[in-house]
């Protein structure tokens, strides 16, 4: 039962003793059971209530107009843009895990890729709400799309805000395709194991006639690799374009060439923190410690640490540029950021994003599940604060002192933000209940081959 | 294992996947065609009026100048709809008992204006000024068509934004000498490109493409 020499010991990515059947059983059981756990109802209920908060906030906004938010001149980009960047960033871990780690043949991606991809989709859905509402008249948002019309209206292709439209819509499309294509063999497994006719039909439609034939597998592998190739540049490009929303404009604190790499690192940083935030309770509640092992958590913690250090490098360089350039405006911007009206957010941000991940240098912390969970939560808060510092502090002090002003989010700003948590969690709860949160067939490839052969006669379906 | 789906579902699923693409494309095309059709733009659709006033009779037949009725076209944003008094100036003497003109007389007696159906009506968010167009050598027929041949009024242009912009991008294509602005028999082909360019320079015609030119 020992693993081949060229692979990492499999016990690290799947607990010993599992057979092909036990893997399928354990994962499909969560979905196919008729007894929905009581905790699921409670969790979904809370998420559902928050979705109602979201709907009320959106309705209030549409009925009364954008004035219900705290945004005004000069801070025209408030919580909506902060939340957009934050949610989009979170999605990046899913794409990185599913695409880049696949191409690098990292076996430990296997048990976390499915729900990380789902997390990406749901985060992008939450993110998309904000710019859509921020345009003020969302029913005219389709004007952002270049299409033949009687108005001779054509989008401004020189604007990064338009690049955003394409970056985010491409991202959402490719992520959805990638997630769905990955699901097809598992949907077929669910179809074959489902007891009731309606579920057989529903999963059957999703499985698109998958029979597990060799030709199916061959095409599937090709398609999956091609999609991974398509998704890989998106990990870099999407948040680069988001950062250009800021960097292309000439606001002090925004107009910096370091923004694209620093935003991408921040995105992956926050994304992995969110995967940890979700994975730790999930593996505990559903007893999946065999599949999402400490090895997975430690690897993710290392990525959090590495990307966190890149982000810290970004903060350091911003301060260094201000000093080294001897540019009084840059220095004034930094002084305002650290000691101005919003100075406390900058120091909280440094505490969350620069200080907290340093604990991950210690193996003891990395293998302590509770500590990891707490650190991941703090990083999530820190990355939100980072966007707050960038958006609000910079806008509140632009070049004209006469137009300086502060920004305070209203309850409708917060309602919308809290509401998207509801949407995110509600979608996640539905996903966990009705789809396999771990890729069954990919987990089965991790079962050591000796066990696989011994158990082969138990198998009916591939 | 029992079959869940009938074999015909193979065809059905393929048709629905590819069909959806064509269906969406066709739906977009149909919607766009509808927006550009005369059903939406009212181009070439003669409109009912409370009194069947004929521009053809009054302009081509009698030779009235546009400004005889549309008095403010040279000074104001609005060309002006003539008051009933203008009608009665002639029709208290000519056709004074014609039954077809009874709404005009009734309006004159009761001092309530006739409610004409407006044919060229821009939305309120578009700012339009007749006087500047006339002053820059853009003739009536350029936008309103051969009004002298219309028994009842209709649109010859869509008044869509792309139609406005087509001229605002290249105004010299439609310029004519100022003294011919109200000439309904003006032939656009009577000027060479050089002559048009000369007029455009003389009248300081510029390509006005700012949003705020029309959306103020």
Determine contact, residues B215/B164, Cβ cutoff 8 Å. Answer: no
- Give domain status of residue B114, yes or no: no
Min distance B42 CA to chain A CA atoms (Å)? 14
Range A348-360 average pLDDT: 95
- Kindly report the pTM of this predicted structure: 0.88
Which chain B residues have a beta carbon less than 8 Å from that of A192?
Answer: 1
- Give domain status of residue A2, yes or no: no
**In this structure, what are the phi and psi dihedrals at residue B175, rounded to the nearest 5 degrees?**
-80, 150
Cα–Cα nearest to A269, from A84, A93, A104: A93
Each residue of A94-131: pLDDT tens digit?
888 888 888 888 888 888 888 899 999 999 999 999 99
- Radius of gyration of chain B from Cα atoms? 25
- Give domain status of residue A272, yes or no: yes
Question: At residue A417, does pLDDT exceed 60?
Answer: yes
Residue A393, pLDDT score: 93
Please name the residue of chain A whose CA is at the shortest distance from the CA of residue B166. Answer: A152
Given an 8 Å threshold on Cβ–Cβ distance, is B4 in contact with A153?
A: no
Range A230-242 average pLDDT: 91
Q: What is the overall mean pLDDT for chain A?
A: 89
Which chain B residues have a beta carbon less than 8 Å from that of A148?
Answer: 32
Determine contact, residues B196/B202, Cβ cutoff 8 Å. Answer: no
Decide if A15 touches B, using CB distance below 8 A: no
Q: Which domain holds residue B199?
A: 74-79+120-214
Each residue of A379-416: pLDDT tens digit?
999 999 999 999 999 999 888 889 899 999 999 999 99
Min distance B145 CA to chain A CA atoms (Å)? 20
DSSP string for residues in A163-211: HHHHHHHHHHHHHHHHHHHHHHHHHHHHHHH--SHHHHHHHHHHHTT--
- Give domain status of residue A289, yes or no: yes
Band (pLDDT 50/70/90 cuts) for residue A462 is very low
Which chain A residues have a beta carbon less than 8 Å from that of B160?
Answer: 150-151
Band (pLDDT 50/70/90 cuts) for residue B1 is low
Min distance A148 CA to chain B CA atoms (Å)? 8
Residue A75 is part of a domain; what is its CATH number? 1.20.1630.10
Please name the residue of chain B whose CA is at the shortest distance from the CA of residue A208. Answer: B13
Residues 141-170 of A with CB under 8 A from B: 147-153
Read off the tokens for A91. 């999605």
Angle, nearest 10°, between helix axes A259-285 and A369-388? 140
Number of domains in chain A: 1
Number of domains in chain B: 1
- B123: DSSP letter: -
- Candidates A142, A152, A190: best to mutate against B (most CBs of B within 10 A) is A152
Decide if A454 touches B, using CB distance below 8 A: no
Angle, nearest 10°, between helix axes A411-434 and A20-32? 130
- Give domain status of residue B53, yes or no: no
Question: At residue A451, does pLDDT exceed 80?
Answer: no
- Give domain status of residue B7, yes or no: no
Question: In 3-state terms, chain B is what percent helix, strand and coil (to 5)?
Answer: 50, 0, 45
- Give domain status of residue B49, yes or no: no
Residue pairs between chains A and B whose CB atoms are closer than 8 Å: 30
Given an 8 Å threshold on Cβ–Cβ distance, is B4 in contact with A191?
A: yes
Decide if A192 touches B, using CB distance below 8 A: yes
Which chain B residues have a beta carbon less than 8 Å from that of A153?
Answer: 161
Q: What is the ipTM, given to two decimal places?
A: 0.77
Given an 8 Å threshold on Cβ–Cβ distance, is A201 in contact with B36?
A: no
Please give the Cα distance from A174 to A12 (Å, whole number).
Answer: 30
Q: Which domain holds residue A166?
A: 11-145+154-458
Mean pLDDT is lowest, of A18-22, A184-188, B47-51, for A18-22
Question: At residue A4, does pLDDT exceed 90?
Answer: no
Residues 207-226 of A with CB under 8 A from B: 208-209
Q: What is the separation, in whole angstroms, between the first and last Cα of chain A?
A: 22
In this complex, the residue of B4, B165, B166 whose CB is nearest that of residue A204 is B4
Each residue of B14-49: pLDDT tens digit?
898 889 999 999 999 999 999 999 999 999 999 999
Given an 8 Å threshold on Cβ–Cβ distance, is A201 in contact with B4?
A: yes
Each residue of A423-446: pLDDT tens digit?
999 999 999 999 998 988 888 888
Min distance A33 CA to chain B CA atoms (Å)? 20
- Give domain status of residue A248, yes or no: yes
Please give the Cα distance from B42 to B31 (Å, whole number).
Answer: 16
């Amino acid at each position: 039962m020992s693993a081949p020499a060229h692979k990492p010991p499999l016990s690290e990515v799947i607990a010993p003793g599992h057979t092909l059947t036990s893997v399928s059983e354990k994962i499909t059981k969560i979905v196919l059971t008729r007894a929905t756990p009581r905790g699921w109802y409670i969790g979904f209920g809370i998420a559902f209530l928050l979705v109602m908060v979201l709907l009320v906030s959106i309705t209030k906004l549409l009925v009364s107009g954008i004035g219900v938010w705290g945004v005004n001149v000069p801070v025209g980009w408030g919580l909506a843009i902060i939340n957009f960047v934050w949610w989009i960033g979170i999605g990046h871990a899913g794409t990185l895990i599913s695409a880049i780690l696949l191409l690098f043949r990292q076996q430990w991606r296997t048990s976390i890729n499915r729900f990380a991809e789902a997390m990406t989709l749901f985060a992008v859905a939450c993110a998309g709400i904000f710019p859509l509402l921020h345009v003020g008249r969302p029913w005219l948002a389709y004007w952002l799309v270049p299409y033949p019309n009687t108005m001779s209206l054509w989008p401004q292709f020189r604007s990064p805000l338009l690049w955003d439209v394409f970056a985010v819509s491409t991202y959402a499309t490719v992520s959805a395709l990638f997630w769905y294509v990955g699901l097809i063999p598992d949907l077929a497994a669910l179809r074959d194991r489902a007891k009731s006719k309606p579920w057989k039909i529903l999963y059957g439609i999703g499985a698109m006639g998958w029979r597990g034939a060799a030709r199916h597998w061959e095409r599937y592998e090709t398609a999956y690799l091609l999609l991974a190739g398509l998704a890989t540049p998106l990990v870099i490009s999407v948040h680069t374009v988001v950062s250009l929303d800021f960097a292309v404009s000439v606001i002090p604190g925004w107009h910096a060439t370091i923004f694209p790499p620093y935003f991408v690192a921040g995105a992956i940083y926050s994304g992995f923190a969110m995967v940890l935030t979700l994975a730790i309770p999930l593996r505990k509640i559903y007893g999946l410690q065999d599949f999402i092992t400490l090895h997975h958590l430690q690897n993710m913690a290392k990525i959090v640490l590495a990307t966190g250090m890149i982000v810290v490098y970004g903060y350091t360089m911003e301060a260094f540029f201000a000093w080294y350039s001897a540019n009084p405006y840059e220095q004034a911007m930094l002084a305002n950021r650290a000691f101005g009206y919003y100075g406390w957010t900058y120091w909280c941000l440094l505490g969350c994003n620069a200080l907290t991940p340093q604990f991950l240098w210690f193996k003891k912390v990395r293998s302590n599940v509770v500590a990891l969970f707490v650190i991941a939560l703090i990083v999530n808060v820190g990355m939100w604060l980072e966007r707050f510092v960038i958006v609000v502090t910079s806008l509140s002090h632009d070049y004209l002192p006469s137009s300086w002003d502060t920004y305070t989010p209203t309850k409708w700003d917060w309602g919308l933000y809290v509401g998207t948590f509801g949407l995110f969690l509600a979608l996640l709860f539905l996903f966990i209940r009705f789809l396999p949160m771990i890729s069954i067939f990919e987990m089965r490839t991790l079962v050591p081959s000796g066990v696989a052969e011994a158990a082969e006669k138990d198998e009916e379906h591939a | 294992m029992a079959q869940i789906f009938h074999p015909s579902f193979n065809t059905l699923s393929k048709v629905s996947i590819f069909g959806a693409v064509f269906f969406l494309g066709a739906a977009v095309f149909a919607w766009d065609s509808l927006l550009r059709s005369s059903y939406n733009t009212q181009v070439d659709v003669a409109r009912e009026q409370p009194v069947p006033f004929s521009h053809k009779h009054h302009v081509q037949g009698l030779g009235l100048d546009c400004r005889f009725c549309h008095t403010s076209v040279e000074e104001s944003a609005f060309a002006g709809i003539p008051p009933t008094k203008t009608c009665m100036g002639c029709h208290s003497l000519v056709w004074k008992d014609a039954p077809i003109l009874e709404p005009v007389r009734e309006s004159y007696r009761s001092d309530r204006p006739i409610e004409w159906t407006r044919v060229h009506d821009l939305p309120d968010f578009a700012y339009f000024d007749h006087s500047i167009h006339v002053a820059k050598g853009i003739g009536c027929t350029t936008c309103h068509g051969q009004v002298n041949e219309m028994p009842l009024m209709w649109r010859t242009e869509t008044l869509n934004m792309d139609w406005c912009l087509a001229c605002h991008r290249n105004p010299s294509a439609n310029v004519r000498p100022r003294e011919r602005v109200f000439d309904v028999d003006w032939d656009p082909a009577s000027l060479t490109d050089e002559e048009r360019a000369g007029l455009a320079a003389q009248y300081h015609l510029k390509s006005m493409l700012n949003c705020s030119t029309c959306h103020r």
